[in-house]
Amino acid sequence: MQPVPENHPARLPLLVGAAYFLLVSLAHAAGLKVPGLFVYFSVPSLAYQDRIISLLAFGWASFLLATAVRPSPSHLLATLVSGLAAIGMLLRIDLTTPFASIDRSIEPRWFLAETLMLALYWCWLLLAALRTLRR
């Protein structure tokens, strides 16, 4: 496999993803339930759960930033596979969790909308990664 040039097409979506997950990490660390930064913003959570998610989101931010700065085909592939797995799990949660049993006011359609937005981001990243790897 050849090295990927520094100014590759996947750089922008990777940097955007890194910034997004850094914001997710900060929101969870601070306990700020901001829709878009908290997928399940209307579901009650405990501080330790938010801190775990904060740590994992920071890992995603670091992973995406490292891939943007020093890309390789294997890093791009790992990013895409991990992202697809995460979206699959979010869909499973969205479609199988009985949110009404937690609180009848919870609207799961918003969670599906946020998962769809992450899936659209993943598609953008996939197309950019394919252009990058074809160079």
Task: Give the structural domain span for 69.
Answer: 11-134
pLDDT in tens, 43-81: 999 999 999 999 999 999 999 999 999 888 999 999 999
Task: Examine residue 4 and state whether it is found in any structural domain, yes or no.
Answer: no
Give CA–CA dist 80/121, Å, rounded.
11
Task: Examine residue 63 and state whether it is found in any structural domain, yes or no.
Answer: yes
Q: What confidence category does residue 1 fall into, taking pLDDT thresholds of 50, 70 and 90?
A: low
Task: Examine residue 1 and state whether it is found in any structural domain, yes or no.
Answer: no
Give CA–CA dist 82/74, Å, rounded.
12
Task: Examine residue 40 and state whether it is found in any structural domain, yes or no.
Answer: yes
Task: Examine residue 41 and state whether it is found in any structural domain, yes or no.
Answer: yes
Task: Examine residue 74 and state whether it is found in any structural domain, yes or no.
Answer: yes
Torsion over CA of 128, 22, 80 and 119, rounded to 10 degrees?
-80
Task: Examine residue 53 and state whether it is found in any structural domain, yes or no.
Answer: yes
Q: What confidence category does residue 14 fall into, taking pLDDT thresholds of 50, 70 and 90?
A: very high
**Number of compact structural domains in the chain:** 1
pLDDT in tens, 17-43: 999 999 999 999 999 999 999 999 999
